């Protein structure tokens, strides 16, 4: 099946197809449909990046890998480094279901099925452990949550800086700020940082983290494109 053709013809069909594949791997529809970026987010991301030459992508927070697949198909020549702690699914399953699958297993199955290349995923935190509120929630489901490493600088910086960094990880303001502070060290001069969830439940926390980052780093500019936040160096305006 040609995922690239489906993607270019109909993003809604592409999203539905990948979600169906992930459901077959063991994740409930309600969970993946809620967590996977939606069609309007995809369109906004592609619009923002339409004039950016993208050779290297850094993804902070991947879950089962839906956004990773979007980037793989949209930018077929780019290499992708994806960082995610690889929690078990049952932390995000509504009700009393108990699903001990780790999200990485779903990602690996999909990548293998479609023989996707140049994706390097690491089971790690990016810049810090989750904030205490997240730890309290996730430690009930993930026995090893305190043992998951923070990714080392050498792994992230291999082969140069990134044209596009996508942040969709722990949404508490302190974590967003920490991820941005680390991301800026790996951003190419003309690169962009995009953040997910500017609207909805987590919007204010994400914005608070961004505003603190901008206060401490005045050389950066910020704008919102619906549910997507965009950060770049001011000399690119």
Q: What domains can you pick out in the chain, each with its CATH number?
A: 3-236 (3.40.50.150)
Judged against a pLDDT cut of 90, whether residue 234 lies above it is answered with: no
Q: Kindly indicate the confidence band of residue 134, based on its pLDDT and cuts at 50, 70 and 90.
A: confident
- Write down the residue that tokens 């910086």 correspond to: 157
Q: Find the mean pLDDT for residues 204-227.
A: 97
Judged against a pLDDT cut of 90, whether residue 68 lies above it is answered with: yes
* Enclosing H/E stretch for 232: strand 228-233
The pTM of this model reads 0.94
Mean per-residue pLDDT over the chain, rounded: 92
Report how far apart the first and last C-alpha atoms of the chain are (Å, whole number): 40
Q: Find the mean pLDDT for residues 102-126.
A: 94
**What DSSP state is assigned to residue 186?**
G
Judged against a pLDDT cut of 70, whether residue 168 lies above it is answered with: yes
Q: Find the mean pLDDT for residues 114-134.
A: 91
Q: What backbone phi and psi angles, to 5 degrees, belong to 227?
A: -90, 5
Q: Which residues contact 104 (CB under 8 A, 6 or more apart)?
A: 84, 86, 121, 123
Q: Are 190 and 199 in contact (CB under 8 A)?
A: no
Q: Find the mean pLDDT for residues 55-72.
A: 96
Judged against a pLDDT cut of 80, whether residue 106 lies above it is answered with: yes
Q: What backbone phi and psi angles, to 5 degrees, belong to 17?
A: -65, -45
Residues making up the chain, counted from first to last: 237
Q: Find the mean pLDDT for residues 70-87.
A: 95
Judged against a pLDDT cut of 90, whether residue 139 lies above it is answered with: no
Q: Find the mean pLDDT for residues 52-60.
A: 96
Judged against a pLDDT cut of 80, whether residue 137 lies above it is answered with: no
pLDDT of residue 237: 47
């Amino acid at each position: 099946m040609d995922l690239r053709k489906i993607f270019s013809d109909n993003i809604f069909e592409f999203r539905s197809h990948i979600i169906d594949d992930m459901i077959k791997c063991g994740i409930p529809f309600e969970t993946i449909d809620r967590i996977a970026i939606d069609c309007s987010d995809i369109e906004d991301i592609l619009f923002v990046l339409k004039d950016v030459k993208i050779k290297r992508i850094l993804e902070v927070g991947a879950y089962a890998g839906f956004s990773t697949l979007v980037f793989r198909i949209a930018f077929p020549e780019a290499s992708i480094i994806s960082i995610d702690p690889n929690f078990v699914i049952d932390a995000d399953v509504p009700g009393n279901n108990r699903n001990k699958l780790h999200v990485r297993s779903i990602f690996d199955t999909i990548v293998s099925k479609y023989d996707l290349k140049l994706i390097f995923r690491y089971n790690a935190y990016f810049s810090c452990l989750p904030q205490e509120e997240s730890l309290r929630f996730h430690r009930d489901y993930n026995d090893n949550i305190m043992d998951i490493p923070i990714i080392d600088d050498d792994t992230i910086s291999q082969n140069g800086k990134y044209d596009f960094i996508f942040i969709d990880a722990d949404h508490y303001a302190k974590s967003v700020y920490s991820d941005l502070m680390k991301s800026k060290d790996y951003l190419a001069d003309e690169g962009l940082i995009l953040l997910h969830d500017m609207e909805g439940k987590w919007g204010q926390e994400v914005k608070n983290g961004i505003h603190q980052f901008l206060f401490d780093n005045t050389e950066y500019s910020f704008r919102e494109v619906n549910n997507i936040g965009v950060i770049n160096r001011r000399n690119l305006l």
